[in-house]
Structure 1
Amino acid sequence: MAEEKDLENTLVLETSKGEVTIRLRPDLAPKHVERIKELAREGFYDGIIFHRVIDGFMAQAGCPHGRGTGGSDKPDLPAEFNAQPHVRGTCSMARTMDPNSANSQFFICFDNASFLDGQYTVWGEVTDGMEAIDALAKGEPPASPDSIVSMKVAADAA
Structure 2
Amino acid sequence: MQTEFRNWLFSTFAVTVFALPVGAALLLTGCNAQDGISAAPTGSAAPTATPTPTVTASAPQSALPRLDGNATVVMSVKGSPITIEVYGADAPITAGNFVDLVEKKVYDGLVFHRVVREPQPFVVQGGDPQGKNPNFPIEQLGTGGYVDPATSQPRNIPLEIEPENANEPVYGKTLDGVKPKLKHTRAAVAMARSSFPDSASSQFYVALADLNFLDGNYAVFGKVTQGMDVVDKIQQGDRIESAKVTQGIENLKVGATSPSSASPTTTP
Distance in structure 2 (CA, Å) of the matches to 1:61 and 1:79: 18
| Secondary structure of residue in 1 paired with 2:241 | strand
> Relative contact order, CA 8 A, sep 6+: which one is greater?
1
Does residue 150 (structure 1) correspond to residue 150 (structure 2)? The answer is: no
**TM-score normalized by structure 2?**
0.52
Aligned length: 146
Q: Which runs of 5+ in 2 are unaligned?
A: 1-67, 132-140, 148-153, 163-179, 250-268
| Secondary structure of residue in 2 paired with 1:65 | helix
Partner of 2:84: 22
| Secondary structure of residue in 1 paired with 2:76 | strand
Partner of 1:132: 230
Distance in structure 2 (CA, Å) of the matches to 1:120 and 1:18: 28
Partner of 2:205: 107
Work out the percentage of aligned pairs sharing the same amino acid: 36
**Could you report, residue by residue, the CA deviation over 1:72-104 in whole angstroms, capped at 9, with x for unpaired residues?**
014210110231210110000000001110000
Native 8 Å contact 2:88 2:221 kept in 1: yes
| Secondary structure of residue in 1 paired with 2:247 | helix
Q: Which runs of 5+ in 1 are unaligned?
A: none
| Secondary structure of residue in 2 paired with 1:76 | coil
- Please tell me the residue identity of whatever aligns with 1:107: Y
* Higher Rg of the two aligned structures: 2
Partner of 1:76: 156
- Please tell me the residue identity of whatever aligns with 1:153: V
Does residue 36 (structure 1) correspond to residue 134 (structure 2)? The answer is: no
Native 8 Å contact 1:28 1:80 kept in 2: no
Of 37, 48, 52, 2:114 maps to 52
- Please tell me the residue identity of whatever aligns with 1:149: E
- Please tell me the residue identity of whatever aligns with 1:81: I
Deviation at 1:155, TM superposition (A): 3.3
- Please tell me the residue identity of whatever aligns with 1:68: G
Of 91, 104, 112, 2:189 maps to 91
**Could you report, residue by residue, the CA deviation over 1:9-68 in whole angstroms, capped at 9, with x for unpaired residues?**
000011126210011101221011111111111110000010001010010010012300
Deviation at 1:109, TM superposition (A): 0.4
Where has structure 1 moved over 2 Å in runs of 4 or more?
Answer: none
Distance in structure 1 (CA, Å) of the matches to 2:87 and 2:103: 17
